[in-house]
Amino acid sequence: MEQRQAFWLPDAASTYAGDVDALFYFILIVSVILFAGVMATMVLFAWRYRRRSAADRPKPVKENKIVETSWILVPTILVAIVFVWGFRVFIHMNVAPPNAMEITVRAQKWSWLFEYPNGVRASALHVPVGRPVKLTMSSADVLHSLYVPAFRTKMDVVPGRYTYAWFEATRQDTFLLMCTEYCGQQHSMMLSSVIVQSQDDFEAWLQEGLLAADASPAERGEMLYTQQGCLACHSLDGAPGTGPSFAGLAGSERVFADGTRRIADDNYLREAITQPATEIVEGYMALMPGTYALLEPDEIDALVAFIKEH
Amino acid sequence: MSTAGQNYLSASTGVRSWLLTTDHKRIGILYAIAVATFFLLGGIFALLVRTELAAPGETIMGQDAYNQAFTLHGVVMVFLVIIPAIPGILGNFVLPIQIGAKDVAFPRLNLFSWYIFMLGALMALSGWLVIGQVDTGWTFYTPYSAEGTSSVLWLTSAVFIAGFASIFTGLNFIVTVHKMRAPGMAWNRLPLFVWAIYATAIVQVLATPVIGITMVLLFLERLLQIGIFDPALGGDPVLFQHFFWFYSHPAVYIMILPAMGIISDLMGTFSRQQVSGYTFIALSSVAIAFLGFLVWGHHMFVAGQSALSSIIFSMLTFLIGIPTGIKVFNWVATMYKGSVSLKTPMLYALMFLFLFTIGGLTGIMVGVLAVDVHLHDTYFIVAHFHYVMMGGALIGLIGGLHYWWPKITGRMYSETAGRIAAVLVFVGFNLTFFTQFVMGSRGMPRRYHDYAGLLDQYPEFAAYNLASSVGSFVLAAGLFMILAYAVHSLVRGKKAPANPWGAVTLEWTHTGPIPDPHNFEKVPLVTRGPYDFHLADDVLGAAASASSESQDNT
């Protein structure tokens, strides 16, 4: 797991990242040469032909056909090269290999949810190393964009339609995944990670994620806590987040922004999930989406049970 | 009115004489005051944004305030500064004189444009104060913009109204250039600034209605609940992006073409040499004006449009990139065997060449499909368009203002102060935005209020952001210094001669130090091209010139 020392671009960890980087560096080097040439000529001319007297009367310069033709042809050839090259790599990046493992991605303000073929859901993207992964993405609210710099992968996530992305990770490690399409208040907090594991570790993780048929409501709640993205705002250790921590929440006395108080019993917890905007705890803002009202009744029971355990 | 011996500033006085003026020169100054005010405002928002980003975590404001600050920075700078700046200020002041006209074709419409612009501008700013905050970014992407309060509709209406000012100004210039040229002012004798403003005017007239249409559709969607852009109503959010960029990409040319015109004039005048490739630059401006309509999809390579569309848009983008590159070669070649004077305006012209070349080359970078996937919506894009929009359009404007300042005000400014400020602007600009290229390449997304969560994997973002923020304050210091010596020049500046630069276009050769209300005492007769310094005995003295052809100079 040796990290390639990166000169300009970040560390690369997908199969096509090398292709993108080669093209990037090619354009960078040609650009630097062109830029240095133009600037050197500019400075040279400004110095060589500097005004020596206010009465200077330079003769008009005849236009030189060879020079003019060359400065039309050379850039045209260069952009033709980078266009064709960029187009070939782009097609490669756009067409997922047929053997790719499919993962569904659901984005919402401001969390990511990844769903696997066997029904396991997670808020971080676990993938096996060395195997192509195809993401089928949709958004519950506004535009988002899934971006993994280390993979050179980016695709907008659009409400009302599916978009796709694929990659094959080349190294076991954890990589930052972020939202790069502005999506409102907590856009910069909409982060997750890609956890690249060996095929065996990944399979094991996938099996662990399956809930036993006899799981208790609290165990199902723990699963939902991750899957529904609750963890993005509500900690379990008492640390303050965007929302109140779950630690010691059940049974405590809640003080609301309007000064009223209420004991956090089961019904309070239920309403806080389904109608989050009605009672705002002092020191917090009304940011929680109302979409959790759509959870199944047994899912709400499970979450309440989970919160009560903390 | 009889104004013998009077200039356009002294011919009449009082607030009324300014607010009801139909003199294109005074309207130019009205634009200058308005745009300078908005530029200050937009700049303050920029400094707020950079200050917040100077360190990870919350520095001076929360997420909501930050999101509003970058939205206002974008809206103000794009719609109230860069789009109206050069056509409104210098186009109005300089273009009619350069073609030997008494005024623009429709002087009252010209004044009306300014009022429309002010109405749009004040609506945009009052919306922020009165109605509520907008935090959608200047791009107003749906469906996020459809969720917000009604202030988004208010702001977009303001953009819609300001758009009409742009259309009227464009219309005015097109007719003026076609119908009002002085005798002898053939098309191939038009200064390249006129060609650039003419090409811009075409884009203003053709493209601006599209943003109007888009805003009307946004309105109809909200009022009648018909699905156009909102997926919840059966609309398509990507359609909004197509509409938006179908205007906003041509708008990029509304912003940059006039600056290219200024640079052509500066390179010619301060090199005392024919502008290399005159015909190419003139016609390619018009060609770019039309081609600019065909490349909007390059903003959407990862937005969910088809791969085929992306490929076509990428190819067209390169087609438009080539003539722009050739222009840079032409500008540099203009100095060849010239007589180069490095006065402040020329420093800005050379600065433009430096910054705009970087902006252009990085434009090729993001036009390449596979590379854009990685760079899209990162700070690389932010840096790229600031190099083009600020390093190109605004540096061009600042160069032009320094060049025409003596003609506009009748005063000179301190050359020393001008050069020091130019260095500050150059250093500050590059420190601010070059660091953004690096962090963008490494994955720093744009429109992030905070990057603390990214530092685990990318610890270098902290240093780059801090450097960029420091740079923004150096840049601001340079800009404030310009303001300071400009004010000093107005009050205490040396009286300017009629032609301090030895330029050979009509605004310098045929008007007094400050032009009279009707520009010329008699209609000038044009006998040479705009950069025919070898024929300009009247300006440069009969010296060593082989040609004795001279121009009627009254």
Here the CATH number for the domain that contains residue A243 is 1.10.760.10
Please tell me whether residues A111 and A143 are part of one structural domain: yes
- B300 vs chain A: nearest CA distance in angstroms? 9
Question: Using an 8 Å Cβ cutoff, are B368 and A85 in contact?
Answer: yes
Q: Distance of alpha carbon B81 from its chain centroid, rounded?
A: 7
**Which A residues, 102 through 141, put their C-beta within 8 Å of a C-beta on chain B?**
141
A121 lies in the same domain as A191: yes
Are the C-beta atoms of residues A252 and A246 closer than 8 Å to each other?
no
- pLDDT at B346 > cutoff 70: yes
Mutate to test the interface with B, among A156, A174, A176, A179 (most CBs of B within 10 A): A156
Distances (CA, A) of B520 to A284, B8, B265: 68, 11, 21
Which CATH number goes with the domain that contains A126? 2.60.40.420
In a domain, A159, yes or no: yes
Flag if B502 and A161 touch (Cβ within 8 Å): no
> Is residue A108 located within the same domain as residue A196?
yes
Do residues A111 and A195 share a domain? yes
Least-confidence region, from B61-70, B139-148, B232-241: B139-148
Number of compact structural domains in chain A: 2
Enclosing domain of residue A277: 217-308
Which chain B residues have a beta carbon less than 8 Å from that of A68? 277
Cα–Cα distance between B88 and B77 in angstroms, integer?
14
Looking at the structure, tell me whether residues A122 and A166 fall in a common domain: yes
Contact A28, A20 (CB under 8 A): no
Q: From its phi and psi, is residue A251 left (phi > 0), alpha (psi between -120 and 50) or beta?
A: left
Distance CA B51, CA B65 (A): 13
A23, A180, A193: best mutation site toward chain B, by most B Cβ within 10 Å? A180
Tokens, residue B304: 């969910």
How confident is the model over B458-481, as pLDDT tens digits? 999 999 999 999 999 999 999 999
Distance CA B178, CA B197 (A): 12
Which pLDDT belongs to residue B131? Answer: 61
Among B71, B263, B327, B373, the residue to mutate for chain A (most A Cβ within 10 A) = B373
The reply to whether A114 falls in a domain is yes
Q: pLDDT grade, residue B315 (50/70/90)?
A: very high
The reply to whether omega before B143 is within 30° of 0 (cis) is: yes
Q: Is the pLDDT of residue B151 over 80?
A: no
- Residue A64 covered by a domain: no
Q: Do A182 and B137 touch (CB under 8 A)?
A: yes
- Chain A, 10-49: which have a CB under 8 Å from a chain B CB? 10, 19-20, 23-24, 27-28, 31, 34-35, 38-39, 41-42, 45-46, 49
Residues 6 or more apart whose Cβ sits within 8 Å of residue B386: B432, B433, B436
Mean pLDDT throughout A202-227? 81
Tell me whether residue A272 is in a domain.
Answer: yes
CB < 8 Å & 24+ apart, contacts of A275-281: A279/A254, A280/A256, A281/A244, A281/A254, A281/A255, A281/A256, A281/A257
Do you find a cis peptide bond into A8, omega within 30 degrees of 0? no
- Whether A293 has a pLDDT exceeding 70, the answer reads yes
Last residue of a domain, one of A164, A180, A208: A208
Question: A105 and A196: one domain?
Answer: yes
Q: Which two tokens stand for residue B255?
A: 């912003």
Higher pLDDT, A28 or A110: A28
Q: What's the confidence (pLDDT) of residue B148?
A: 65
Residue of A nearest to B451 (CA): A188
A122 & A176 share domain: yes
Q: How many Cβ contacts (< 8 angstroms) between chains A and B?
A: 264
| Complete domains list, chain B, with CATH | 26-540 (1.20.210.10)
Q: How many C-beta neighbours within 10 Å does residue B131 have?
A: 16
Is A68 part of a structural domain of the chain? no
Identify whether A182 is part of a domain. yes
- Cβ-Cβ contacts under 8 Å for B224 (sequence gap 6 or more): none
- Dump pLDDT digits (tens) for A213-223: 667 888 888 88
pLDDT at A6: 67
The span from the CA of B525 to the CA of B466, in Å, is 57
Q: What is the pLDDT of residue A276?
A: 85
Q: What is the number of residues in chain A?
A: 310
Contacts of A52 (CB under 8 A, 6+ apart): B339
pLDDT tens-digit readout, B178-229: 999 999 999 999 999 999 999 999 999 999 999 889 888 888 888 888 889 8
Q: Which of B156-160, B314-318, B445-449 has the lowest mean pLDDT?
A: B156-160
Tell me, yes or no, whether A118 and A155 share the same domain. Answer: yes
**Residue A155 with chain B: CB contacts under 8 Å:** 302, 304, 373
Q: How far apart, in whole angstroms, are the C-alpha atoms of residue A193 and residue B327?
A: 45
Identify which of B115, B11, B262, B310 has the alpha carbon closest to the alpha carbon of residue A156.
Answer: B310
pLDDT at B542: 60
Nearest CA-CA distance, residue A231 and chain B, Å: 15
DSSP secondary structure of B411-460 = B---HHHHHHHHHHHHHHHHHHHHHHHHHHHTT-BSS-S--GGGTTT-TH
Contacts of A159 in chain B (CB under 8 A): 143, 231-232, 237
How much is the pLDDT for A280?
Answer: 87
pLDDT, position B149: 62
Residues of B in contact with A145 (CB under 8 A): 302, 377
Q: What is the pLDDT of residues A66-95, one digit of tens each?
A: 988 998 899 999 999 999 999 999 999 999
pLDDT beyond 50 at B544: no
pLDDT at residue B549, rounded to an integer: 39
The answer as to whether A20 is a domain residue is no
Interface contact flag, A51 B318, Cβ < 8 Å = no
Please report where in the chains the tokens 């797991």 appear, as a residue: A1
Does the ipTM exceed 0.90? yes
* B484 has pLDDT over 80: yes
pLDDT for the residue numbered B2: 44
Residues A118 and A142 in one domain: yes
Which of A208, A230, A245 is the C-terminal boundary of a domain?
Answer: A208
Classify strands A253-255 and A261-263 as parallel, antiparallel or unpaired: antiparallel
Mean pLDDT of B143-161: 80
The answer to whether residue A7 neighbours chain B at the CB level (below 8 Å) is no
Same-domain check for residues A285 and A223: yes
Q: Model confidence at B3, in pLDDT bands (50, 70, 90)?
A: very low
Alpha-carbon distance A267 to nearest alpha carbon in chain B (angstroms): 30
Which whole number is the average pLDDT over B314-341? 93
> Same domain, yes or no, for A256 and A290?
yes
Mean pLDDT of chain B: 91
Give the domain-ending residue among A208, A236, A254.
Answer: A208
Buried/exposed B175-191: b ≥16 CB within 10 Å, e otherwise: ebbeebbbeebeeebbb
Lowest mean pLDDT among B287-291, B295-299, B539-543: B539-543
pLDDT band at B543 (very low <50, low <70, confident <90, very high): low
Helix B395-409 to helix B460-492 angle (10° resolution) is 10
Q: B26, B13, B132, B21: which is closest to B89 by C-alpha? A: B26
Write down the pLDDT at residue B554: 35
Verify that A190 and A286 share a domain, yes or no. Answer: no
Is the four-CA dihedral B169, B172, B178, B181 of positive or negative sign? negative
Residue B5 has pLDDT above 80, yes or no: no
A2, part of any domain = no
CA distance B163 to B203: 12
Phi and psi dihedrals of B411, rounded to 5? -125, 155
- A184–B135: do the CB atoms touch at under 8 Å? yes
Q: Which residues pair with A174 in a beta bridge?
A: A195
Give the bridge partners for A135, in sequence order: A103, A165
B86 and B258 in contact (C-beta within 8 Å)?
yes
